[in-house]
């Protein structure tokens, strides 16, 4: 049964803090950042100063010590203002921090988590490769023992969010034979041999850094191994299970922004003797999207509740991301259609929301992967052929 958490005072405080910051520090500048393809690192630092870059990092390591529901509530607010900025927030709170929180040694936690929580250091998560995206178990980057307890990494990574601005990297490489059991995880600061590529041109997320990484004889000590040899794919997948709930929250923020924009425009736009909001052709698509957004948000909060309770949440996260990402894409489309020619113009945010929404169906597992996760839960071994 789908059940959202009962929001506590702490949840509502985080939500209000994120909403106020987004309205004052992000939304007024989002169009300019996107036009210039600028990553507002100073704003990410400010988010760290107010506790929104380490929401679920324990207080003893510099974080806010809150839960995943809090992360999702903040994500929706920030994404409604600018999706690119929210992507950095998602990586910092989840993909960069969570593997260390859940699998790091005391020394690794003390070394990396305070900087991630404050955003003095920006984190990145390097799993995807040119020939290993959805099939993460087939990654080719190698980590070879150096005979002194350390490792030498060689390979290439692709589509690395925050990669061009990151100070610390969670990396995945093959330390053993083929398949899942041969993959290990590492955590390292930026170092010689870890070479970010040029910023990649993208359909959307113009205020987010996305690069490829080349690993050229990257030398890491034994203290860089995260969670033990051969544990990399487990760490990667458990991190993505939670991350999909976060991306569902991001998609809800995009959809909400699109609906709000279209409702505001339709209420003011005059045609044929009155506001176009009086026409059912305008009303009904937005009414439909409003109802579906509520359903998507409920699925997202349900997934967050399960994670916070320590219960299995992989399937719930897949359902939340599948539904919320489609709602984001369709709500953005409705916004563009409602605004007509202005929807196609950079004068309004509709075209940016339209471009940004699509990524939610692709990263941290495509919609096809989410359907596969859900189908395997339904059919068990019969779904595997």
**What confidence category does residue 180 fall into, taking pLDDT thresholds of 50, 70 and 90?**
confident
Cβ within 8 Å of residue 140, ≥6 positions away = 129, 131, 132, 155, 174
Which residue, among 41, 37, 69, 36, has the nearest Cα to 55 in the 3D structure? 69
- Residue 230 has a pLDDT of 96
In SS3 terms, the chain reads as CCCCCCCCHHHHHHHHHHHHHHHHHHHHHHHHHHHHCCCCHHHHHHHHHCCCCCCCCCHHHCCCCCCHHHHHHHHHHHHHHCHHHHHHHHHHHHHHHHHHHHHCCHHHHHHHHHHHHHCCCCEEEECCECCECCCHHHCCCEEEECCCCCEEEEEEEEEEECCCCCCEEEEEEECCCCCHHHEEEEEEECCCCEEECCCCCCCCCCCCCEEEEEEEEEEECHHHEECCCCCHHHHHHHHHHHHHHHHHHHHHHHHHHHHHHHHHHHHHCEECCEEHHHCHHHHHHHHHHHHHHHHHHHHHHHHHHHHHCCCCCHHHHHHHHHHHHHHHHHHHHHHHHHHHHHHHCCCCCHHHHHHHHHHHHCCCCCHHHHHHHHHHHHHHHHHHC
**Statement: residue 212 has pLDDT above 80:** yes
Q: What is the structure's pLDDT at 132?
A: 87
Mean pLDDT along residues 97-125: 98
- Give, in order, the Cα–Cα distances in Å from 58 to each of 65, 98, 101, 111, 119: 4, 11, 8, 14, 15
**What mean pLDDT comes out for the span 255-267?**
98
Give the closest residue to 224 by CA, choosing from 57, 61, 112.
Answer: 112
pTM: 0.97
Residue 83 pLDDT: 98
User: With bands split at pLDDT 50, 70 and 90, how would you rate the model's confidence at 384?
Assistant: confident
Residue 148 confidence (pLDDT) above 90: yes
For residue range 72-89, list pLDDT tens digits in order.
999 999 999 999 999 999
pLDDT at 1: 87
Q: Is residue 385 predicted with pLDDT exceeding 80?
A: no
**Catalytic residue status for 129:** no
pLDDT at 383 over 90: no
How confident is residue 249, by pLDDT bands cut at 50, 70 and 90? very high
Annotated catalytic residue: which of 25, 361, 364, 368?
364
pLDDT reported for residue 36: 98
- List the domains of the chain with CATH numbers: 9-121 (1.10.540.10), 124-229 (2.40.110.10), 234-384 (1.20.140.10)
**Residue 151 reports pLDDT greater than 80:** yes
């Amino acid at each position: 049964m789908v059940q959202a958490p009962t929001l506590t005072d702490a949840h509502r405080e985080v939500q209000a803090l994120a909403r106020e910051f987004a309205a004052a520090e992000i939304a007024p500048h989002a169009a300019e950042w996107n036009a210039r393809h600028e990553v507002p690192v100073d704003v990410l630092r400010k988010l760290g100063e107010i506790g929104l870059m380490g929401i679920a990092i324990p207080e003893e390591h510099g974080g806010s010590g809150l839960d995943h529901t809090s992360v999702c509530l903040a994500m929706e607010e920030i994404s409604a203002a600018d999706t690119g900025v929210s992507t950095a927030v998602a990586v910092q709170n989840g993909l960069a921090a969570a593997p260390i929180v859940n699998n790091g040694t005391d020394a690794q936690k003390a070394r990396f988590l305070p900087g991630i929580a404050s955003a003095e250091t920006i984190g990145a998560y390097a799993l995807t490769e040119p020939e290993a995206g959805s099939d993460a178990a087939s990654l080719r980057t190698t980590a070879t023992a150096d005979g002194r307890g350390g490792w030498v990494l060689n390979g290439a990574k692709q589509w690395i969010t925050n990669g061009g601005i990151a100070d610390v990297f969670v990396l995945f490489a093959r330390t053993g034979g083929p398949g899942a059991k041969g993959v290990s995880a590492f955590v390292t600061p930026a170092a010689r041999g870890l070479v970010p590529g040029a910023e990649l041109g993208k359909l959307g997320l113009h205020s987010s850094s996305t690069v490829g990484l080349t690993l050229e004889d990257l030398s890491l000590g034994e203290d860089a191994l995260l969670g033990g040899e051969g544990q990399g794919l487990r760490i990667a997948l458990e991190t993505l299970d939670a991350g999909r709930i976060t991306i569902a929250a991001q998609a809800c923020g995009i959809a909400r922004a699109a609906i709000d924009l279209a409702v505001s425009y339709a209420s003011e736009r005059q045609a044929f003797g009155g506001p176009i909001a009086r026409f059912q052709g305008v009303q009904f698509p937005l009414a439909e999207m409003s109802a579906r957004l509520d359903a998507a948000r409920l699925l997202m909060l349900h997934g967050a509740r399960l994670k916070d309770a320590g219960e299995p949440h992989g399937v719930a996260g897949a359902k939340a991301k599948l539904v919320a990402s489609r709602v984001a894409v369709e709500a953005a489309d409705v916004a563009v259609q409602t605004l007509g020619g202005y929807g196609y113009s950079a004068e309004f945010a509709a075209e940016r929301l339209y471009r940004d929404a699509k990524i939610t169906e692709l990263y941290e597992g495509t919609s096809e992967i989410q359907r596969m996760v859900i189908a395997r839960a339904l059919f068990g071994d019969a779904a595997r052929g």
